[in-house]
Amino acid sequence: MSNTVTRIRLAVVAAAASVAVLAGCSSPAPSGDASAASCEPAKGKVTLEYWNTVPGMDQVVALWNKKNPNIQVEMKNISNDQYGTIGNALKAGKAPELAQVGYDELPFLRTQNAFVDASACSAATAVKSKFVPWTWSQSSFGGTGVFAFPQDTGPMALYVRSDIFTKHGLEIPKTWDEYAADAQKLHKADPNLSITFFDPNNAEWFNGLLWQNNAEMYKYSGDKWHVTAASDQSKQVAEYWQKLIDAKLVRTDLAHGSTQMYTAYQKNQIASYVGAAWGYSMFRDNLPKQAGKWSIVPMPTWGSSAASGDWGGSTVAFMKGNTHLYESVKFNSWLNTDPEALALENKLGGLYPAATAGSELPALSQGVEYYNNEKIFDVFAESSKNIDTDFSWGPTQKTVNLALQDAMAKAAAGDGTLNDALSAAQATALKSMKDQSIPAVAGK
Amino acid sequence: MTDIATRANRVVAETGGRRRHYGGGPRAGTIVAFLTPFFLPFVLFYLVPVGYAIWQSFLVVRRTGGQYGTSYTTFGGFEQYAQVFQNTEFWSSIGRIGLFGIVQVPVMLLVALSMALLLDTPLLKIKPFFRITAFMPYAVPGVIAAIMWSYLYSPQVSPLVDVLKGIGLQPDFLGPGAVLWSAANVSTWLWTGYNMLIMYSALQSIPQELYEAAKLDGASNWAIAWKVKVPIIAPSIVLTTVFSIIGTLQLYAEPAVLRQISSNISSTYTPNMLAYAVASGNNYQQAAAISVVIAVITFVLSFGFMRLTSKKAGL
């Protein structure tokens, strides 16, 4: 026993010693946004590091490297833990020059001082007009700097099994009310058939629906964040889906993109899909037998005017410590506006470009065979134009999304409602901001 | 390091340089030389990270300026710990794990012990085959096992569910009440063979003469198993229990994988999942505090169990 005590005492001494050593190196206050970044071209050859999660991006980078011997890009795929990898690299002061960051993670990373403002480069501000407005407003934080270039988006639309709709004599729903009525009809005709599924573990998707209804959850004014996750607009969306769940008109047992989801579609149990532009290839590749049975139409709306939401998409951000802004801007704008690069990214990675030139790409202006040769990308382009540009994400979005998901799952299991989930998101947003010492208040 | 040297000197002094048959007592230099290869990595790869985590848990993030002001960390005392103790999610995850452990650990160890005793009887032929098959699941990484089982649990794709439906049952492995036990089943499947092997190795080292003596005294096989074998391998049963308690408190892979297919597992389902979720929101200091609390609870429970049983098990 005395032996053990000695051992424990030793361990405590050693631990205390290491703590004492580490105490000497608590993190110094990092400097804020490097607004004084310079845009001098480098002399000689430059190598840029670029981290992303896009399939086939290595081939796009190879094309650039072939054309630009003096600006070489090294890429690393970080899809297994995108934000973990980026976060750790930032903590270690070893961030790459450029990294892929989702729109909803931009404010979060900005609070970690992850970016550098590239607006010192005139070329960086000049590309603004080449992107869909809402994407630029998010990556430039409302025009206060240039922190990232938009890469791809996920404008939302409704995927419809036209054969099932025809069989049951349903019109294409223009509004959410019509959609709910269709859900009722379908379920009456065949209890094994649901109009769609509600994945309670998918906050990103749900956020897209809230966005469509102009639910502006975060606003920054007067040196404070104003948080209204449970606004009337949000509640309208939440109550709508709650009704569908309560009436068992939508399935809640399918995770988006899972084998189970595809199986349900395969067995003709589900008649529509509320999805994004990047979903077209998922259906095409996973449900080959249903070729010709799917159509893509605009999202049902809440009012008479067209409005849409976005689900997913990313930017390529200028990361902290980037000393080659001139070259980074050059590569980044080629990557996200050059037709050749966009075509390749669309073909290999299924990206739906954030650049307005995207809609002129041959691949995105022709009919798609799987979808009856319909010009589905016209629907997405139209959807993209109808996305609220004032919407902004919160600085602790990831944490809020997790809490929202947990509460949505409870609601789907009959414990609480989706309105409670919005309240949970509100509470978590305020608490997580407080934890990070970010000034925030509830209300508009 | 010097601490050890002085200690060693004291050892030498206390033993009064008593002559052992191999000459003088160990010299401090020798002790240091032999301990360094162990101590250096131990400090670097074990104590330093642990110390760093403990240090992190005493820090808080502060920020200067408004929306995207610069953040810095500063000493915050027990602020993070106060938050852990106020966090209802944390305590409900501990409760969940407690329930899991109270049921899963005894069941798994009983099955493992029965299997080990069966393997050890002369009645059983082709022992190597059974030994390998029982141990096989342990060779499967936890995540893979969880993915495999998630297919068996999933109503749309599982042959198991189809079979059970065929005989008139309505299984819902992923429902709110069942999903914890579905995860427990994966853990049990993974670890039973491993625990069995530890117990079986202990059984192998019991001298045969004991059994012969017991037989001469008229003991049945049953009596030999429970009155001779089990008490002798008690230390290894305690050991496997301690491992299982530690493993239970650190449960992560199984529920995290099942979460992909069941909405009844929240992101804060187990203490480790909660720590991970908090860290993914970049609140490293809070995550560190949660980890330290988990470690302390694990420490108390496993050592508590050892203290409770050490007399009985003759450790």
Which residue in chain B is spatially nearest to A407 when comparing CA positions? Answer: B266
Identify the pLDDT of residue B312: 65
The more confident residue out of B6 and A126 is: A126
Going by pLDDT thresholds of 50, 70 and 90, the confidence category of residue B71 is confident
Across the interface, whether the CB atoms of B156 and A201 are under 8 A apart is answered no
Beta-carbon contacts of residue B282 (< 8 Å; ≥ 6 apart): A87, A108, A112, A436
* Mean pLDDT of all residues belonging to chain A: 90
Distance from CA of A345 to the nearest CA of B (A): 28
Chosen for mutation from B88, B157, B263, B303 (greatest number of chain A CBs closer than 10 Å) is B263
Confidence band (pLDDT; 50, 70, 90) for A171?
A: very high
* A318 token code pair: 């200028």
Q: What is the pLDDT of residue B156?
A: 75
Question: For A183, what's the count of Cα atoms within 13 Å in the CB-facing half-sphere?
Answer: 25
Residue A206 in this model has a pLDDT that exceeds 90:
yes
Q: Both tokens of residue B241?
A: 């229990």
Q: Which of A28-37, A164-173, A282-291, B279-288 has the lowest mean pLDDT?
A: A28-37
From chain A residues 16-35, the ones with a CB under 8 A of any chain B CB are 16, 18-19, 22-23, 26-33
Work out the angle between the directed axes of helices B284-313 and B271-280 (0-180°, nearest 10). Answer: 160
For residue B15, the model assigns a pLDDT of: 54
User: What is the model's pLDDT at position B13?
Assistant: 54
Give the pLDDT of residue B254. 93
Pick the range with the lowest mean pLDDT from A24-38, A232-246, A315-329. Answer: A24-38
**pLDDT at position B4 over 60:** no
Q: Which residue has the tokens 């009436």?
A: A247
Residue pLDDT, tens place only, B210-264: 999 999 999 998 899 999 999 999 999 999 999 999 999 999 999 999 988 888 8
Question: What is the nearest CA distance from A363 to chain B, expressed in angstroms?
Answer: 33
Residues of B in Cβ contact (< 8 Å) with A264: 156
Token duo for residue B80: 């993070």
Per-residue pLDDT for A330 more than 90? Answer: yes
Predicted confidence (pLDDT) at residue A251 exceeds the cutoff of 60: yes
Which helix (DSSP H) or strand (DSSP E) does residue A83 occupy? helix A82-91
Contact: A409, B174; criterion CB under 8 Å: no
Taking the CA of residue A183 and the nearest CA in chain B, the distance in Å comes to: 22
Range name among A68-82, A378-392, B7-21 with the lowest pLDDT average: B7-21
Exposure b/e, A49-80, CB count within 10 A at least 16 = b: bbbbbbeebeebbeebbeebeebebebeebee
Tell me if B281 and A396 make a contact (CB, 8 A cut-off).
Answer: yes
Has residue A185 got a pLDDT over 90? yes
Segment B177-214, tens digit of pLDDT? 899 999 999 999 999 999 999 999 999 999 989 999 99
Inter-chain contact B47–A15, Cβ cutoff 8 Å? yes
Q: How large is the average pLDDT for residues B86-97? A: 95
Let me know if B141 is exposed, middle or buried by CB neighbors in 10 A (0-12, 13-18, 19+): exposed
Indicate whether A228 pLDDT > 70.
Answer: yes
Interface touch B71/A200, C-beta < 8 Å = no
Least trusted range by pLDDT, from A247-261, A358-372, B155-169? B155-169
What is the distance between the alpha carbons of residues A265 and A161, in angstroms, rounded to a whole number?
A: 10
Locate B195 and state its tokens.
Answer: 């625990």
Both tokens of residue A198? Answer: 């509600």
* Residue B179 to residue B262: CA distance in whole angstroms: 8
Which of A110, A199, A439 is closest, CB to CB, to B66? Answer: A439
- For chain B, give the mean pLDDT: 88
Task: Report pLDDT digits (tens) over A145-159.
Answer: 999 999 999 999 999
pLDDT at A266: 95
Max Cα–Cα distance, chain A, nearest Å: 84
DSSP, collapsed to helix, strand or coil, labels residue A272 as strand
Closest residue on chain A to B70 (Cα): A32
pLDDT at B122: 77
The pTM for the full model equals 0.84
Q: What is the pLDDT of residue A15?
A: 41
The pLDDT score that the predictor gives to residue B315 is 53
* A and B: number of Cβ contacts within 8 A: 137
CB contact under 8 A, B154 and A264: no
Average pLDDT over residues A271-278: 96
In this complex, do B63 and A83 lie within 8 Å of one another by their Cβ atoms?
Answer: no
Q: What is the pLDDT of residue A24?
A: 40
* pLDDT bucket at A300, cuts 50 / 70 / 90: very high
C-alpha A177/C-alpha A170 separation (Å) is 13
pLDDT bracket for residue A360 (50, 70, 90): confident
Mean pLDDT, residues A12-36:
41
pLDDT at A12: 39
Query: Residue B25 — very low, low, confident or very high, per pLDDT cuts 50/70/90?
Result: confident
Rounded-to-integer distance, Cα B225 and Cα B231, Å = 9
Asked whether the predicted pLDDT for residue A305 surpasses 70, the reply is: yes
Alpha-carbon distance A181 to A248, whole Å?
A: 13
Q: What's the pLDDT at A25?
A: 42
Contacts of A188 (CB under 8 A, 6+ apart): none
Q: Which of A201, A398, A431 to mutate to test the interface with B (most CBs of B within 10 A)?
A: A201
Q: Show the tokens assigned to A339.
A: 């037709």
pLDDT at residue B3, rounded to an integer:
57
Q: What pLDDT band is residue B59 in, cutting at 50, 70 and 90? A: very high
pLDDT at A20 over 70: no
Residue contact B282–A27, C-beta within 8 A: no
Q: Work out the minimum CA distance from A420 to partner chain B, whole angstroms.
A: 15
**Closest Cβ opposite residue B280 in set A84, A259, A412:** A84
Which two three-digit tokens encode residue A274? 């509320």
Judging by beta carbons within 10 Å of its beta carbon (0-12, 13-18, 19+), is residue B75 exposed, middle or buried? exposed
Region B125-131 average pLDDT: 84
Q: Which residues in chain A have Cβ-Cβ distances shorter than 8 Å to B63?
A: 436-438
Q: In the prediction, which pLDDT does B314 show? A: 56
Indicate if the pLDDT at residue B292 is higher than 50. yes
Distance in angstroms (rounded) separating the CA atoms of residues B27 and B31: 6
